[in-house]
Every structure is written in structure tokens, then in C-alpha cells.
A and B are shown apart, each in its own frame.
Chain A
Amino acid sequence: MKPFDYIRADSTTHATRAAGQGANFIAGGTNLLDLMKLEVMAPHKLVDINRLDLHQITEVDGGLRIGALVSNSDLAADMTVRKQYPVLSEALLAGASGQLRNKATTGGNLLQRTRCYYFYDTAMPCNKREPGTGCQAMEGATRLHAILGTSDACIASHPSDMAVAMRLLDAVVEIESAGGAVRSVPLSEFYRLPGQTPHIETVLEPSDLIIAVTLPAPAKGAQTYRKVRDRASYAFAMVSVAARVQMDEGTITDAALAFGGIGSQPWRNPAVEKALIGQKPSPELFAKAADILLADAKPQKDNAFKVPLTRRTLIATLKELCGKDAA
């Protein structure tokens, strides 16, 4: 690990000012410290934000405001989350291990970096790590990689489970910039597609600090998180589906679907949901939804299995949530 200077921030103003001087924020550190050991990231300065007053979960306007420093463990165990937003609790508990969830934070989880093997290997070219050097993943091992929202510069997938559930729940990110101005960005507009600049992953400016994530009042319907991975626990998603479906007298009256493991960011396609709403569940309808989702999929040799796997996972999830009404 390259040497660096460290400071503890005691206010958000101080934290954003330090970031303005070129420091990286460190919260739980579970991803950043690993990347620093490998010298994939080599910040000269770290500003530790753990002592900022961002640890609360509060009910606001029928929804929930989650401080950026709430740990993944605490968020998963929160009674309001478990009752009103069970998909979020399930997604959190499907990620990492207990020791990591105890340290990992809400804001940090949104910002965790891809687990692309080539991004992690500093001997390899990588447009995300070193812009303009090329992408070794294209012709390499792509089991973990994205099939949606990729570009000819980058096919890395977003690794988060939590962010997939947050995307389903229409989360909004609260951001404080240097100078103290606070703005809100819907998670749907928070991540950027890789295009030719895969190193720019979000709309955050260098001194921007995530201070909270807010969830609107819970929408009606049954929720679930289904994750498919190479082993039963402690592995990144090959495919995951966060889903909410509301049924009324045998008809799907509302539906929302978000996907992990297959997109360059937590993936959601409104056209898939629109195709389901107002319809009676049937194998044909579910197949149609999968067709729409996967119409633009661009698999590589190694991860072509994700197309049928996503289809089957989506159909199984819809069958589960539509219950006995599913044909």
C-alpha cells in the first residue's frame, strides 16, 4: 500500500473541504482499503468520515431517511426496513459476510467498485482504472461481467446487492457539496453508463459527500430478492432480481423489477414493468417480460449463460410473487 496522510473529519463541512484538497473519503473501508493494498487506488490523502453524525435511520414523510454511515448490518436488522422494505433487508443479507456488513456503510455500498478481474489486476490494461489503456476483459474471463449497459470500452458489472434493492425502491441520494449545499439525486440518475469514460461511475463531483439515502413510502405489493451465485453464500451475484408485484383479483396491478450482476449499474427497465402491469400472469407474459429485458443484451463468450439464467431467474421470481395466480 502506498503511504498516505490521514485526517478525521468532525463535520460534513470539514469533510467536503478535505475532499476538495484531494482527499478520498473513507467510511467502512471494506472496499477502499482492499483496492489500496492492491494499488488499484492510491489516494495520497484519506479523510475519515466515521465520526460524522450520519448514523441515524429516521422516518420521514411516510418514508425512510437512512444516514450514509448506517452499517449494512444495522440497516438489514432495522425493524422498519424488515417490515416495510423487506427486499432491502434480504438484499443486504445476501451480500458479503457478517464481518464485512458490520463495517460496510450505506453510502459506501452505493460506491463500491466493480470486481472485474482486470480492474483489480494492475498488470492488465483497464479503461476504468487507467483511462485509454484498453479493456482486457472483452476477450478474457467474463463470468462476473455485465451484459446490459456496457460499452466497447468497458463491460464491468456493478457488484452491489443493496443498490439493486435501492433501485427497486426508488431511492434518492442526498449529497452535500463543498460549501454546504445539499442536493437530491434519484438513484436512477446517480450512476453513469460507461460509454467512453468508464472511470466516471456516478454524477458525484470530487468533493461531493453522500449524507443520506431516502426511500419513499413503501409501495404496495409483495417484495423479494432472489440471488443466483456460484455458491450458497458469500459470493457476488451472477444474476439477482429485486422485485415487487401487486396483484388484484388475478391481475398484476403494479410491478417493479431491478437486476444485479448483469448490468454496468443496478439495472431497471421500465418497459419490462409496463408489459406486466394490467395483465394476468402467464408463462407467455413472463417470457415476454424476459424478452424485453434481454433484447439489448450483449453477452461475451464466457457469460452468455447469463441470458438464459436471467430469463429463468426472472420467471421464477415472477411466479413466486404472483402466487397461485401464476399459470
Chain B
Amino acid sequence: MTAVFSDRIDIALRVNGEEVEARVPAGRHLVDFLRLDLGLTGAHASCEHGVCGACTVKVDGQAIRGCLMLAAQADGADVWTVEGLSDTGDLSDLQAAFVARNALQCGFCTPGMLVAAQELLAQPGIPSRHAIREHLSGNYCRCTGYEAIVDAIESTAQARADRGVA
């Protein structure tokens, strides 16, 4: 081992394209590191047990639960939150579709929904409504009943296919 057991861990990672270095408590969860240490409050800490999906962020290209990963484990990782994905414009058509379809009411689940949906939209082809529902089954929304969310993702996939971008 290159180090000894410690309750403070030095990490260096990339968050939304920017290099970040920090010393974190071993028990710091990634979502808390993003929210409390970096001020990136887009990913929400909600159930904090890996159930609700509000904390969904991208780590090394994959959507994961920010509440079930230690910040220490993100050393060397490439992390993207809804803030970064909004700034790059990667989500803008999906976000517009969410607005157009009223796919949010209180908006609490929306960052997690967007990041989770982006992973599905990055796959080739237009997903069926069943596939969309299956993909989002780990993201809870207590307002919308999901229909409008599925509508927004389906219409975005269709529009991207029509434009030849997916």
C-alpha cells in the first residue's frame, strides 16, 4: 500500500471539467463533497440510501448514486453534475423538453432525472417507453406521475434521431 490508514484522505479529481484537489474525511460521501465542499447543489441528498436517485451524478461516464460513493473513492475520477452538463449544453434539448412537457413540478428530482436520462439517451436508437421507464425506475418523482417525464425523454430521443445526432 502506498499510504497508511487515515481518517483524512487527499483526493484529486476533475469536476465538471475543472481540476479539484481536496482533503476529505474518509466518511465524506461524494454528494456531500459536491454540495458542501464545492457548492454544487444540483445533485440532491434525499433518501441517502441509494433508493431515490436524486443524488445521481456521472462518474467516469456512468450514472451513479452520489450518496453511496465515498469522495475518497472518486480520487482520479471524472465527475459531472447537472451544473456542468447544463453549462456544456449537453442537456439543453432535454431540459427544454422537460419544460415543454411539464415534466417537473417541485423540481427536486429533476437533476437526478436529467443525468439518469442522459445516460439512456447516449445509447443508440430511440428507447421504447418501457425502456425509459425501466431506466428511470431508480429515480423517484413524487409529483408528476412520470408520464410527462417519459414524454420528455421520448420526444428528445426522437428529435435527436431526426437531427441525426443519436
Contact = CB atoms under 8 A, between A and B. Distances in A.
B9 interface: yes
Given A5-B26, A6-B5, A10-B1, A100 B138 contact: yes
Interface string B3-46: 11111010000000000000001110100000000000000000
Give the interface size bracket for B toward A. Answer: 35 or more
A103 B68 contact: yes
B64 interface: yes
Interface string A247-261: 000000000000000
Contacts of A98: 63, 116, 119, 135, 138
B101 interface: no
A99 B117 CA distance: 11
B35 to A, nearest CB: 16
A79 to B, nearest CB: 15
Given A1-B27, A29-B69, A29-B73, A37 B62 contact: no
B49 interface: yes
B110 interface: no
A34 B47 CA distance: 11
Given A30-B65, A96-B138, A48 B4 contact: no
Interface string A293-304: 000000000000
A233 B133 contact: yes
Interface in A92-122: 96-100, 102-103
A1 B5 CA distance: 18
Contact of B26 (A3, A10, A50): A3
Given A6-B5, A100-B68, 20 more contacts: A3-B7, A3-B25, A6-B72, A8-B3, A10-B2, A23-B5, A26-B70, A33-B68, A33-B70, A37-B48, A38-B49, A73-B62, A96-B138, A98-B135, A98-B138, A99-B53, A100-B138, A103-B64, A233-B137, A234-B138
